[in-house]
Amino acid sequence: GNSVTQMEGPVTLSEEAFLTINCTYTATGYPSLFWYVQYPGEGLQLLLKATKADDKGSNKGFEATYRKETTSFHLEKGSVQVSDSAVYFCALSVVRGNTPLVFGKGTRLSVIA
Amino acid sequence: DTEVTQTPKHLVMGMTNKKSLKCEQHMGHRAMYWYKQKAKKPPELMFVYSYEKLSINESVPSRFSPECPNSSLLNLHLHALQPEDSALYLCASSQDSTRGVSYEQYFGPGTRLTVT
């Protein structure tokens, strides 16, 4: 089956620290990979995506590279800000009709000044 | 414009009430989704509509009744809910993925539902 495993938080960092949130997946087929972010009291926002091996998704200083050999899609940011405090979800979608997203459990990030 | 709107933002209802949640998108997406999200959990899929037809029902109780009146609108009708149905209900849309390409989903802000 299809599944996503991401590091469980909470993760607490000081402002300007380096962020890595690990995400690995198992999939039958060739998935597209996504990172979504959910700020307190809001819905999910697409942060970045990658659709094939070695693709790098990037947005707002965040990056993640689709690594087929390690089945990973780790999220990184070089210098976090307080405004990055949120829950981050790694997700995959396998091409088979309008299949639902398969989400990881989410990682809560708190950035302190 | 990548906006999905949902109304109401908050809803409190009794177990005997009937209410509806509404979702709208104007991105030309032909796939629309309802998810339920409990606190500190990822969203769980409830329903998928493709070209205004229900394509996936994840064994959701009949007290939840979806409706897709046109390609831009998605409703979720609620009746005789239980307190454990209290959650954040999220709507999402995407380009149709039935032709072998997987597209990202865009989410609305959600409706925070409390059943008393």
As separate numbers, helices (DSSP H) first and strands (DSSP E) second, chain A gives 0, 12
Q: Could you tell me which of A63, A8, A12 has the C-alpha nearest to residue A35?
A: A63
What pLDDT was estimated at residue A98?
A: 54
Q: Could you tell me which of B85, B61, B65 has the C-alpha nearest to residue B75?
A: B65
The rounded distance, in Å, linking the Cα atoms of B64 and B41 is 20
Q: Count Cβ atoms below 10 Å from residue B44 Cβ, excluding itself.
A: 16
Answer yes or no: are the C-beta atoms of B92 and B42 closer than 8 Å.
no
- DSSP for A68-84 reads TTTTB--EEESS--GGG
What pLDDT was estimated at residue B58?
A: 87
What pLDDT was estimated at residue A6?
A: 96
The predicted-structure confidence for A82-91, as pLDDT tens digits, reads as follows 999 999 999 9
Q: Average pLDDT, whole number, for chain B?
A: 92
Do residue A34 and residue B45 have CB atoms under 8 angstroms apart?
Answer: no
Do residue A98 and residue B45 have CB atoms under 8 angstroms apart?
Answer: no
Residue with tokens 């149905």: B85
What pLDDT was estimated at residue B97?
A: 67
Burial A71-102 (b: 16+ CB within 10 A, else e): bbbbbebeebeeebbbbbbbbbbbbebbbbbb
Residue A31 burial (CB < 10 Å; 0-12/13-18/19+)? buried
Average pLDDT of the segment spanning B49-71: 92
Answer yes or no: are the C-beta atoms of A20 and A80 closer than 8 Å.
no
Residue A104 burial (CB < 10 Å; 0-12/13-18/19+)? buried
Residue with tokens 């909470």: A10
Confidence bin at B1 (pLDDT 50/70/90): low
User: Residue B98 above 70 pLDDT?
Assistant: no
Q: Is B100 on the interface with A (CB under 8 A)?
A: yes
Q: Is A39 on the interface with B (CB under 8 A)?
A: no
Q: Is B107 on the interface with A (CB under 8 A)?
A: yes
Confidence bin at B103 (pLDDT 50/70/90): confident
Q: Output B103 or B50, whichever has higher pLDDT.
A: B50
Which of A33, A101, A103 would you mutate first to test chain B, the one with the most B CBs within 10 A? A101
The rounded distance, in Å, linking the Cα atoms of A35 and A92 is 9
Residue ranges for chain A with pLDDT beneath 70 = 95-99
B92: Cα separation from own chain's centroid: 7
The predicted-structure confidence for B6-56, as pLDDT tens digits, reads as follows 999 999 999 989 999 999 999 999 999 999 999 989 999 999 998 999 988
